Amino acid sequence: MQIDRRNMLAGMGAAALASQVPVRVAFGQDKTIRFLLTQDFTRVYTFVTAEYSQGQRDYISLINERGGIGGHKIVAEVSDHGNDLPRAIESYERAKAQGMVLVDPLSTPVARALVTRVLADKVNMITAFSGRSDAADGSVFPYIFPLSPNYWTQMGLLIDYFRQTDGNLKGKKICFVHIDTPFGKEPLPILEALRDKLGYELQTFPYTPPGNDQSAIWPQVRRARPDWVVFWGAGVGQTVALTEAIRNGIRMDRMSSSVWLSESDMDVVGREQAKGVLKIDPCVLGREAKPIQAILDTVVKPGKGAGPENKVGTVYYSYGVMITALILEGVRKAFEIAPNGPISGPWLNAGLHAIKDFTADGMIPATTITTADHQGGGKGRISRWDGGKFTPITDWYSANQDVVWAEVKKYSSEFAKTGK
């Protein structure tokens, strides 16, 4: 039976959007902390967003069921911007007028469009696995928080894994197949800088968004006889890339990607056919993590979950839990610093900057956010698809951060000068 992503989305996206009304009504206007989770449920990222949002809302429900934080409940307004900039900005302005202190758009173009607004308004914006990689520089982007390994760091981790595996990359050939968008091009500065440093050959193969036709690209990749292939997209672009790579005989244990690869992708491609493919993990996946166990017991079993139970603990669901755990640790820290508030963007900003060695009960590597580093240290790990799940094959580690931060500083200093 073929998995239809649009059908999959219909139920999950509808549940996501429907759930916002009772959340808002239940808590009213007093003793609340308001977040805006305006994301793309219907256009580009679809089921990625549905699972990520489900994880976010279930973790918020867990904390609210425990009494909230500092006597306050968390109110999450969920809406669909459809990756449309005017819709996203309208949603942002409306929520800002209602006292929103944080926004998570989960979209590189939307995040980029909101940069100057959030900096001027002093509203905290989460850009986990999206947005500008140079936003890791908190000295230039004080209200923008990746809270996770950015795309430059993810590429640095992959290249270092290739180096560890082969011993030396000098003379090796790496093919980079990517969606032809700012997101797809984002890793290129690191790929090129590490090429110059390590001596590998780099060939790039951009494809037209959304990526449902890559048939002309993968025979070229095959003929290039690469030692390693990195494919970089989201949604349909990822599954088409994998399908075409398999059709062209590319070894799966030499195929790798960013954080944007999930069980749902494997269902579309074929779980057995995709065995061996590599990805970046920013957190523990599956249901063994303590926050996931707590959600199952406190939220899902009583029937208060935000979506299908079988999505709890999946890759993108876990990302949503991870990021929300970090955000709410920032809320806890803000109450420690200023228990009487007032609740505002700057109040939460101080709390986010006070996060230190936070692991979310072992779900993530120890993460510290400072006014200089909004990435949190840049640690991740490599996992391999074993036919049933993504299994970690490395410990948590960081790599090539000297190269990453040289690029961060180059681009953030340009933004500081020009606003672009």
pLDDT along the chain (420 residues), means of 10: 36 46 41 96 85 97 98 96 95 97 95 97 97 96 97 98 97 97 93 98 96 96 98 92 98 97 95 98 97 98 97 97 98 98 97 98 98 97 97 97 97 95
Per-residue model confidence (pLDDT) at position 17: 52
Residue whose token pair is 């059908």:
7
Would you say 229 and 254 are in contact if contact means Cβ atoms under 8 Å apart? yes
Give the burial class of 352: count Cβ atoms within 10 A of its Cβ; 0-12 exposed, 13-18 middle, 19 or more buried. buried
Report whether 92 contacts 72 (CB < 8 A).
no
Which strands, in side-by-side order, build the sheet including 102-103? 73-80, 32-39, 102-103, 124-126, 144-145
The residue written with tokens 């992959």 in the block is 158
The C-alpha angle 220, 223, 224, rounded to 5 degrees, equals: 85
Residue type, 61: S
Please give the pLDDT value at position 6: 36
Q: What is the pLDDT of residue 235?
A: 82
**Contact at 8 Å (CB) between 173 and 221?**
no
What whole-number distance in Å separates Cα of residue 118 and Cα of residue 114? 6
CA distances from 394 to 161, 164, 284 (A): 9, 11, 12
B/e letters for 119-153, b = 16+ CB within 10 Å, e = fewer, are bebebbbbbbbbbbbbbbbbebbbbbbbbbbbbbb
Cα 275 from Cα 221, distance rounded (Å): 20
Q: Which two tokens stand for residue 110?
A: 């939307």
For residues 392 and 96, give the distance between their C-alpha atoms in angstroms, rounded to a whole number: 40
Helix (H, G, I), strand (E, B) or coil at 93: helix
What is the C-alpha separation between 277 and 281, in angstroms, rounded? 13
Token pair belonging to 323? 């990021």
Alpha carbon 95 to its chain's center:
22
Cα separations (Å) of 378 from 37, 143, 149? 24, 18, 5
DSSP 136: G
- The secondary structure of residue 101, as a DSSP letter, is -
**Half-sphere CA count of 297, side-chain side, radius 13 A:** 9
Q: What's the rounded Cα separation, in Å, for the pair 305 and 53?
A: 11
Cβ atoms of residues 321 and 295 within 8 Å: yes
Alpha-carbon distances, residue 217 vs 26, 204, 208, 233 (angstroms): 52, 10, 11, 14
| Region label for 298, one of left (φ > 0), alpha (ψ between -120 and 50) or beta (otherwise) | alpha
| Structural domains of the chain ordered from first start | 5-149+285-379 (3.40.50.2300), 151-281+382-418 (3.40.50.2300)
CA atoms within 13 A on the CB side of 107: 27
DSSP secondary structure letter of residue 296: I
